[in-house]
Amino acid sequence: MPLESMQQLALATGDRILVKHADTPDKFVLRTAWPSLTLDKDVIEMDTATRLAGEFQVGDPIQVEKYTPSSSDIIATRVTLRFLAMPDFSLNPTWTCDRRYLTRGDVMDVRYMGQLRRLRVEKIYPDSAMALMSTNTQVVVLLPDDKMDEQQQQEEEAAKAISYQDIGGLEEQIKQVREMVEISLQDPELFVKYVAQETKAHVIVINGPEIISRYYGETEQKLRDIFSVARERAPSIIFIDEIDSLCPKRDEAPTELEKRVVTTLLTLMDGVETLRANETSTTADRIVVLGATNRPNALDEALRRPGRFDREIEIGIPNSDARLSILTTLLRRIPNTLTPDDIYTIASKAHGYVGADLAAVCREAGLFCIRRNAQSESSVDLKVTLQDMNDAMAGIRPSAMREIMLEVPKVYWSDIGGQAYIKDRLKESIEWPLKHPEAFERMGIRPPKGILLYGPPGCSKTLMAKALATEAGSNFIAVKGPELFSKWVGESEKAVREVFRKARAASPSIVFFDEIDALTVKRGSDGSGTSVADRVLSQLLNEMDGIEPLVNVTVVAATNRPDIIDDALLRPGRIDRILYVGPPDFESRRDIFRIQVTKMTCDKDVDIDELAHKTEGCSGAEAVALCQEAALFAMEEDVHIDSIKRRHFLKALGSFKRRITPEMLQFYADFQSRSGLLPA
């Protein structure tokens, strides 16, 4: 290099430099800088091996950077070199390399047996663009037509494993895993205030059911062999997938085999020597055991103590920020036209979606994109759009909700006539906390936990819950009272816990209890105080306002018998808002008839105002039933009739009986008075 250029880059003779293409800086070679007094400024001279390694041509624009060694440099455990020309001698079984650093694809000239031999760096293990050589690095040299052995090919596949950067949304969990695994493997003596050299670990994967054998003692022997191999190839990670199938609770194990396997694993994990204060990393077993399960409570308790599995990390359902990180990572590999705001919008409404669900959404969006461009021969426009993502999300259910996913009818606020006050209160309680969380924090308040809709039958209480499920964008869980009851002791309470567990996992979510009075009758009303209903009610009270907080979960309940609901449920902190949904007033009935008439073929002589006046005291359901009855009268008159006339509505009114009586309305007025509730 020209001396002036070296001075500008603060390079000394013998410093290592990275030489890159100006247009593709990801491809580089690592070389040593030497000064030249004859070269022009901004010109460097390189040998043939360097040009071959970096695929440089004379006159190519390049970048030169100083390389500073770092403690994070990867140490190669094995490298594979290949002769570019057939040598005239037989290969030795062992080789060493005097290079300090090697880069993948590098070409080196080596003088051997009086001749210059040229070799290329074929593979580096662990897989890396550049690695540091050590005295323990195994050097494998191949002839031009040699193939890699089976073991090396398998390890190369393992070397292509996903890196931390390929995982989105699990930053905190990754931090804990790295803290436990990397420190104990790479720098084990940090625990006892020593410094150890960084290293990479050998990974052994155990898929729980695969090692089970029908022959007595063979399963336990397989486990012992795995730990023996891990010691020989330390530092090692033993990863046990679906560990619950291998190590269930011994008192619940179906056969003696499971008990023996659990006991063997406990013994082996206790036998892993940890680093003591007076030991070095060479005398301790540098082995870390990782387990994965989605049923942690099914594991034997003896495994879940310090000294065996020291730390438990929950990989839960991602929140909005985690979903944004996951989507950003996934979409990096997919041609798309999405802006950061588009990705944020998708992440915000993908409640309950786990990483696999989001990956499925991206794959499905790619298929939508391909179908859209199927008629075009060009692939230039094959880019995923926001509409593709929305279409894909409509067909992919979140995993957290698959067991309880409901086909909720698409009901919108505009489909419900009147009841503006109730609609506004529901929007404040459900939609505002999602859309304006900063406002609640600023005011120092929390969103309502529960809402009770009560009133006469047929006044749109359940219909409003359906509209809420459609409009709010939250996950919606509808609970039918009788399905929670079981003849087995404890199963009913477990069903309530499971509903709220799923609601918490898939938050923000709405849990809707229709006819909640069937579940929450006042305790002791049957005289015993120990009925299943009492225990279910107690569990419900604990879930709504117990030790474990209910975050981003709103309970919406409907009833026409609020007087028999236990008072403990109706207090603030559980049911924060109690809303009376009464019979619709004139304007509400007018809206209901307008909505219904637009769906029907009615004659011009049908007067909506007249119908609203004549149905004073009717519920919304009765108004809808009146329209249905008028249509049937028209069809009775002539099945081929083209429209419903005014006379058909009047005939329906003449035979119509109101279900809401003055006594019923007085009952709700008395309840409001006794409870101190303000009328809506």
| Amino acid at site 362 | C
Sheet-wide strand order for 202-207: 202-207, 236-241, 287-291
Q: How far is CA 232 from CA 185, 202, 282, in A?
A: 14, 10, 12
Q: How far apart are CA 277 and CA 396, in angstroms?
A: 53
Let me know if 543 is exposed, middle or buried by CB neighbors in 10 A (0-12, 13-18, 19+): buried
Q: Which of 3-17, 215-229, 265-279, 444-458 has the lowest mean pLDDT?
A: 265-279
User: What are 202's strand-pairing partners?
Assistant: 236
* Long-range contacts of the stretch 216-225 (C-beta < 8 A, 24+): 219/257, 219/260, 219/261, 219/264, 220/260, 220/261, 220/264, 223/261, 223/264, 223/265, 223/268, 224/264, 224/268
Strands 16-21 and 28-32: antiparallel
Residue 273 near residue 284, CB atoms below 8 Å = yes
Sheet-wide strand order for 138-142: 107-112, 115-125, 78-83, 138-142
Give the phi and the psi of residue 112 in degrees, each rounded to 5. Answer: -140, 130
With 80 as the cut, is the pLDDT of residue 95 above it?
Answer: no
With 50 as the cut, is the pLDDT of residue 192 above it?
Answer: no
Residue 31 near residue 17, CB atoms below 8 Å = yes
Residue 4 tokens read as 């002036």
Question: If pLDDT is split at 50, 70 and 90, which confidence band does 189 have?
Answer: very low
Q: How far apart are CA 620 and CA 563, in angstroms?
A: 23
Q: How far apart are CA 592 and CA 290, in angstroms?
A: 61
With 60 as the cut, is the pLDDT of residue 485 above it?
Answer: yes
* pLDDT tens profile 385-427: 888 898 888 888 777 666 655 555 678 888 887 788 888 888 8
Residue 127 tokens read as 């897989």
| Amino acid at site 267 | T
Q: How far apart are CA 79 and CA 125, in angstroms?
A: 6
**DSSP structure class, residue 304:** S
With 50 as the cut, is the pLDDT of residue 38 above it?
Answer: yes
Q: How far apart are CA 613 and CA 623, in angstroms?
A: 12
With 80 as the cut, is the pLDDT of residue 363 above it?
Answer: yes
ω into 508 cis (within 30 of 0): yes
Residue 679 tokens read as 């009328």
Let me know if 610 is exposed, middle or buried by CB neighbors in 10 A (0-12, 13-18, 19+): middle
Residue 370 tokens read as 């391909």
Q: Three-state DSSP class for 489?
A: coil
* pLDDT tens profile 6-21: 888 888 888 888 888 8
ω into 456 cis (within 30 of 0): no
With 60 as the cut, is the pLDDT of residue 437 above it?
Answer: yes
Q: Three-state DSSP class for 273?
A: coil
Domains, the chain = 3-66 (2.40.40.20), 78-146 (3.10.330.10), 200-303 (3.40.50.300), 320-395 (1.10.8.60), 413-580 (3.40.50.300), 586-659 (1.10.8.60)
With 70 as the cut, is the pLDDT of residue 196 above it?
Answer: no
With 80 as the cut, is the pLDDT of residue 151 above it?
Answer: no
Let me know if 161 is exposed, middle or buried by CB neighbors in 10 A (0-12, 13-18, 19+): exposed
Let me know if 308 is exposed, middle or buried by CB neighbors in 10 A (0-12, 13-18, 19+): middle
* pLDDT tens profile 540-568: 888 887 666 777 788 888 888 888 888 88
End-to-end CA distance of the chain: 86
**DSSP structure class, residue 24:** -
E strands, 37-128, are 62-66, 78-83, 101-103, 107-112, 115-125
Question: If pLDDT is split at 50, 70 and 90, which confidence band does 262 have?
Answer: confident
Nearest to 298 by CA among 366, 251, 244: 244
* pLDDT tens profile 570-626: 888 888 888 888 888 888 888 888 888 888 888 888 888 888 888 888 888 888 888
E strands, 552-656, are 553-559, 577-580
Q: How far apart are CA 222 and CA 258, in angstroms?
A: 14
352 half-sphere exposure, CB direction, 13 A CA radius: 27
Residue 279's pLDDT is: 44
With 80 as the cut, is the pLDDT of residue 285 above it?
Answer: no
With 80 as the cut, is the pLDDT of residue 96 above it?
Answer: no
Query: Rounded to an integer, what is the distance from CA 199 to the centroid of its chain?
Result: 31
